[in-house]
Structure 1
């Protein structure tokens, strides 16, 4: 039986219509019925496919109006994700009489404890802060029906595993435990299965249509030329809204200064910045005051910023999971987007491995007069120069932003 929105409570139906949704996504169709049956589930689904509502809607459907205590806990690895989940929950709880509350590290503990006086039914927080509240006996866990591990591969990682276990162990044995992430490596599955009761594994692949809406381009150049390529890419399309990822936070501020010198409005996002600094940066980026957001992988996890047109890998990540999470910041919920990897000839080999494993097409291109250009000579000879060749004058020019892929044979 196909899942329909009419099966839900009236306030959920109303919020669904206001949000402009028409049908459930694949991951929602597969995960929501199982959650309503109180099953433990492990869900792997690409970025931008609607995982957050995949667990929020069944939780909201089952909330008890008579209860004055938290009924569900959502554990998320970063402060930004906690706030993002809370925003989505608030939107769908409008007019229901239910509420959610956030609990994050770095915020004033006394003020956060005050939130319990409003009796939130859904608690959303980072692992360390939630454990603090449990140890202080401010967060009572015996009435919790469902625990969600958001971005599960990171939440259950070695740095947070003990805290996650403390949260799980504080609940009764009949609680429901679910895990959602864009990538769930085998090691993470094994760790989760040890903590779950006969879990069902759900894996949703990107549809062909969804893959076709995101163009994957790459440029091969010397390492010293990467910053210049970044600058040139930002001028390929009017109104571009881009995130560029680097591996080492140490270089962020210097890179931002170089971009600012080139008259490019830029913000930076990394784990060492304060919560207030990160919130201010994201607010300005969402408002269009920054054309470019420079970030480390802290921004790659589930961060949902509307209208990101381009993701740029200035540094290629070592792990394919990081490549997936980074790239997933564009092309969300069926929108079009462009992913550009700026790689050295050595990094190209690793990029090609990603291409094969992910089953996507990556088009090698260069830039000519502010446009993406496919050059067959460049594609067949990665060591040939990517700029300044007279042969590029006769090459076929692509469209601004997303280069049109060649027809597959």
Structure 2
């Protein structure tokens, strides 16, 4: 195993790296740094996220840039503000014992005038997001003609996010004599196009096989009914008391909905999505990085570039449509050689997608069973006992209170005291999970909770002009009814899905909630009709109608009604 010193880096740079705590280079660093230190050739590095790419390009960049000059010599482009700030921070840490660089981060959501001021003071290295850099170029506030090195970090993510035209424009302002270093986790056609158009005979380095996953990630999936995904998620979280995890949803609305449900159920969670202001995003990320936030629910785009240490789990509420998205999602865990777990929550019909990802990644997926209520109770109880054993006792300050405590508990034996203390936490989980059904879906698509969502209720029967032809499953219908009218599955009986229409039963006292709730809703561009019917053939209907409106459709999530704060937001698939 080589050392950083043996790679040819300057002594001061090596000292800074060792002080940070880096001991030996990762494979991408070991192979890339000597090549990049020559500073005379374009470079393409293909490696999975979490393998140390920032140091792989950052260390040689710092060695090559002249701190005595005040002009801009290096430009690093990153897809997101979070990644840009992280790169800038890493470069400052790397150079702390080496040279006094002026490294400026340029990104949206912050004062552009302040960033212009910092650039004009003389920035040898600029780390930028494409959109904000275009703004500075248009304002003629930045000079890229002196650029010697351009780094495209997470190039595939930038292209997936639609920055192709911005990259073309930015690179057109840089000199032809520059060296371009491109780093990417995957190599889609668009990345190859950049190589062809903007690079000359690049040195190509691949660490690990293309399209293979991080070997330190354990890939799992659970198979449940669509309507059981949230209860299954709760069990997974409860079964991992020390989880520090990311939950991915397909849309902003789903992300906010899941986060709010978790917070309502007393989980330490919050959301990260594109509808948040920059100040809100910063606050959420600060809480997550400091681990005062245990669970972050995010969209694919919002979570781009997040590099937070020691994330234990990545949970996918749905399988993403693009292979690259799964790679980037799961790559948020198992960083810097550590272990991590990725869990995909799927329905039976999505099993084929899992097999496709498994084949592409060349990493086996293991079916994980949703924990039973008894398993969760046991895990929580043992976790509590571990906390008791490991808690730090402040002997001096607690001493004056102990006599009263001893007096209160003097009649209890040691076994009785342990049982009562454990029951304070245990009873809460026991009450919740008592008689909890098995949520795992079998090979025929059924789970033992099927009866829970199809109880026969003496109530009113409704007709709705949505059915299987609209991509509806029973879980989708339950979610739609819940989110448009507030009627939960406890009050819903049999659901009969037909081709172009369906029927569902609700308790009589919820009829008005249904009729009023479904006013003003469109689904896939057409008006939804929900009417009371007493005949099995759907005749004799009466009642109101409501438009259920959403943007591009996506299974398993729904827009809120128009008086909700999420109304009128068009859904996007990422």
**Alignment match of 1:358 (pick from 357, 361, 370):** 361
> Retained in 2: the 8 A contact 1:365–1:379?
no
Deviations along 1:281-322, whole A, 9 cap, x unmatched?
A: 011112222221000012443311112110000111011110
Alpha-carbon spacing, 1:336–1:2, altered in 2? closer, same or farther (3 Å): closer
1:167-246 equivalent positions in 2, closer than 5 A: 167-205=170-208, 211-246=214-249
Deviations along 1:365-392, whole A, 9 cap, x unmatched?
A: 21231289xxxxx89937353779xxxx
Deviations along 1:122-157, whole A, 9 cap, x unmatched?
A: 100111221222233321112111011111013245
1:73-92 equivalent positions in 2, closer than 5 A: 73-92=75-94
Q: In the alignment, what sits opposite 1:298?
A: 301
Cα distance, 1:341 vs. partner?
0.7
1: CA distance between counterparts of 2:441 and 2:206?
Answer: 34
> Retained in 2: the 8 A contact 1:246–1:294?
yes
> Retained in 2: the 8 A contact 1:364–1:379?
no
Cα distance, 1:162 vs. partner?
2.0
2: CA distance between counterparts of 1:196 and 1:3?
Answer: 30
1: CA distance between counterparts of 2:253 and 2:20?
Answer: 40
What SS does the corresponding residue of 2:283 show, helix, strand or coil?
Answer: helix
1: CA distance between counterparts of 2:275 and 2:441?
Answer: 39
Cα distance, 1:46 vs. partner?
0.8
Q: In the alignment, what sits opposite 2:63?
A: 61
Instruction: Give the alignment's TM-score, normalised by structure 2.
Output: 0.63
Q: In the alignment, what sits opposite 2:133?
A: 130
2: CA distance between counterparts of 1:60 and 1:75?
Answer: 16
> Retained in 1: the 8 A contact 2:152–2:183?
yes
Q: In the alignment, what sits opposite 2:43?
A: 41
Cα distance, 1:106 vs. partner?
2.5
> Retained in 1: the 8 A contact 2:46–2:183?
yes
Cα distance, 1:192 vs. partner?
2.7
What SS does the corresponding residue of 2:301 show, helix, strand or coil?
Answer: helix
> Retained in 2: the 8 A contact 1:93–1:99?
no
2: CA distance between counterparts of 1:46 and 1:112?
Answer: 31
| Higher normalized contact order (CA 8 Å, seq sep 6+, divided by chain length) | 1
Deviations along 1:241-263, whole A, 9 cap, x unmatched?
A: 01000111122222222111211
Give me the CA root mean square deviation: 2.4
2: CA distance between counterparts of 1:85 and 1:216?
Answer: 28
Q: In the alignment, what sits opposite 1:405?
A: none
Deviations along 1:33-73, whole A, 9 cap, x unmatched?
A: 23223211222101110011111111101011321111100
1: CA distance between counterparts of 2:158 and 2:215?
Answer: 30
**Alignment match of 2:273 (pick from 250, 264, 270):** 270
> Retained in 2: the 8 A contact 1:47–1:302?
no
> Retained in 2: the 8 A contact 1:73–1:146?
yes
The answer to whether structure 1 residue 250 and structure 2 residue 312 are counterparts is: no
The count of corresponding residues between Structure 1 and Structure 2 is 381
1: CA distance between counterparts of 2:157 and 2:220?
Answer: 27
Q: In the alignment, what sits opposite 2:28?
A: 27
Structure 1: give runs of 5+ residues left out of the alignment: 373-377, 389-409
> Retained in 2: the 8 A contact 1:300–1:322?
no
Q: In the alignment, what sits opposite 2:437?
A: none
Q: In the alignment, what sits opposite 2:542?
A: none
2: CA distance between counterparts of 1:267 and 1:134?
Answer: 36
What SS does the corresponding residue of 1:219 show, helix, strand or coil?
Answer: strand
2: CA distance between counterparts of 1:14 and 1:345?
Answer: 54
Q: In the alignment, what sits opposite 1:161?
A: 164
Tell which deviates more after alignment, 283-292 or 173-182: 283-292
Structure 2: give runs of 5+ residues left out of the alignment: 380-439, 451-574
> Retained in 2: the 8 A contact 1:221–1:386?
no
**Alignment match of 2:329 (pick from 326, 329, 348):** 326
Deviations along 1:200-251, whole A, 9 cap, x unmatched?
A: 22222179xx955322111000111101111111111222101000111122
1: CA distance between counterparts of 2:57 and 2:106?
Answer: 19
> Retained in 2: the 8 A contact 1:221–1:345?
yes
2: CA distance between counterparts of 1:212 and 1:46?
Answer: 10
1: CA distance between counterparts of 2:180 and 2:144?
Answer: 13
Alpha-carbon spacing, 1:329–1:202, altered in 2? closer, same or farther (3 Å): same
Q: In the alignment, what sits opposite 1:394?
A: none
Alpha-carbon spacing, 1:379–1:230, altered in 2? closer, same or farther (3 Å): closer
2: CA distance between counterparts of 1:212 and 1:202?
Answer: 19
2: CA distance between counterparts of 1:18 and 1:278?
Answer: 31
> Retained in 1: the 8 A contact 2:180–2:199?
yes
Q: In the alignment, what sits opposite 1:403?
A: none
1: CA distance between counterparts of 2:247 and 2:21?
Answer: 30
Alpha-carbon spacing, 1:361–1:382, altered in 2? closer, same or farther (3 Å): farther
1: CA distance between counterparts of 2:203 and 2:131?
Answer: 28
1: CA distance between counterparts of 2:300 and 2:254?
Answer: 14
Q: In the alignment, what sits opposite 1:14?
A: 15
1: CA distance between counterparts of 2:100 and 2:448?
Answer: 60
Considering only CA atoms, is the larger Rg found in Structure 1 or Structure 2? 2
Alpha-carbon spacing, 1:161–1:269, altered in 2? closer, same or farther (3 Å): same
Tell which deviates more after alignment, 317-326 or 291-300: 291-300
